[in-house]
Structure 1
Amino acid sequence: MSTNSPSSTTAITMLLYLIRATGAIFPIYVGYLTKLGSSLFSYHPFFMTVAFTGLMTEAVFMFSEASLAAGRRHSTKITAHWFVLLLVAVAHSLGFASIYINKELNNKPHFTSWHGSVGLVTSVLLWAQLSVGVFAKYPRILSRVMQARTVKANHGLFGMVVFSAGMITIALGLWSTWFQNNASQVVIYSALVLHISLMFIVCKKFIKKYA
């Protein structure tokens, strides 16, 4: 039985709202930092932070007490979850395409840094998760080989891995030459704490639900 009092639950929910609000503001700050639209590169950090720090965070928290859909029917939350993930796919595609084309135009090698290499792995994992997510929405497809709870648990586990990989990729990007040259140390370490906090909260949420 849960030992959390109503006041502590409210405090935790408010903290989650604060962290997510900061996560929503961060992509806007990145867009300002890159002078969005000034170059092809400027779209990469903006859309990637929109995809992971902003939208994917909302998709993951869609079923929590701090969700913007809190109090809605479960079916409504599932629809909202899918819609937000569709936006994640669009934002990610724009962010990935912008850096890939930018490097091609400037004859620069791809995926040579830790940020780039982990980012590539994250991209592959993201599209794999989006592709097989249909089984979580319609678990009866696999009913002969796997129980619905197991399908949803595996979907949640893989989602946690993808989200964590996204947070790690963004964190590595904070130490890229571009970000180091344009952001203050206060912003860099604050953003690092933000992304580590989001990863920790999501992992704890999954373990609490399925452990």
Structure 2
Amino acid sequence: MLHIVFRVAGVTFLVYIAVIAKLGSSLFSFHPVLMTFSFTGAMSEALFIFTKYGVASRSTHRTRVTAHWIMIGLAALCHSVGYAVIYYNKEVNNKPHHTSWHGFLGFIVSILFWIQVSFGFFAKYPLLLRSFLSVIKIRTSHALFGILIFISGIGTMILGLWSSWFVSNASVTGFYGALGLYVVLVFAAIFVLVEKYSKILCRGVQAYFQ
């Protein structure tokens, strides 16, 4: 039941962001909408897909893997366009890049996100790296870093709540509603994903020291 509430809250917040950004009214308006959808939407679903709370929880493992790839691909696409938009917007307006904590952490998360997406290919086809890493190490690393990058991404979104744009356009209710959604989402991700991957992570840690 709670996962349904989270999804409804997430969709509601995405619509709220689109409204206050006046989506389509400017180039910048696409940045908050695309980034919100990328992290709180597509990436969240991609991470939860292998749990009982996932949208394909009753499907076969192969189907869930395919759904995971689709969600991550969608998240990567939206993230890339969203990042390109804000970068180009600053170039056009002759503004410096990555001067705020939101911008700086966002830049770091973007790099790590694409590394993680690339590494996901080897998590799907681990035998390609069998000469260097075992299957358990590859998949453990992918799962662990995926969780950390997701949390870092949400952290970047939280910092964005204090940006001049959001503060000047969002209501007090919108601010605290967004903050509450992100905090709950982080704790839900930690609880559910660690619960799901705890055995895998433990085996992986033991494997590293063998």
- Fold match (TM-score > 0.5): yes
Give the equivalent residue in structure 2 for 1:93: 80
- In the TM superposition, what is the alpha-carbon distance from 1:90 to its structure 2 partner? 0.9
Secondary structure of 1:141's counterpart equals helix
Contact kept? 2:48, 2:193, Cα under 8 Å: no
Query: Aligned equivalents of 1:197 and 1:140: distance in 2?
Result: 37
Aligned to 1:115: 102
For 2:92, which of 105, 108, 112 is the aligned residue? 105
Match 1:56 to one of 43, 46, 52: 43
Q: Is the 8 A contact 1:20 1:57 kept in 2?
A: no
Asked if structure 2 preserves the Cα contact closer than 8 Å seen for 1:41 and 1:99, the reply is yes
Question: Could you tell me which of 142, 148, 157 is aligned with 1:155?
Answer: 142
How many residues in Structure 1 have an aligned counterpart in Structure 2? 198
CA distance in 2, matches of 1:25, 1:152: 34
Deviating runs (4+, > 3 A) in structure 1? none
The answer to whether 1:203 aligns with 2:190 is yes
CA shift for structure 1 position 39:
0.6
> Residue 39 and residue 183 in structure 1: after superposition, are their counterparts in 2 closer, same or farther (change >3 A)?
same
* Partners of 2:153 and 2:175 in 1: CA distance: 17
Instruction: Please say which of residues 136-145 and 31-40 is displaced more in the overlay.
Output: 136-145
For the Cα contact (< 8 Å) 1:157–1:206, is it kept in 2?
no
Report what 2:16 is aligned to: 29
Secondary structure at the counterpart of residue 144 of structure 1: coil
By relative contact order (CA 8 Å, sep 6+), the higher-ranking structure is: 2
Q: TM-score, normalised by structure 2?
A: 0.90
Q: TM-score with structure 1 length normalisation?
A: 0.90
Equivalent pairs: percent with the same residue? 45
Cα separation, 1, equivalents of 2:54 and 2:30: 28
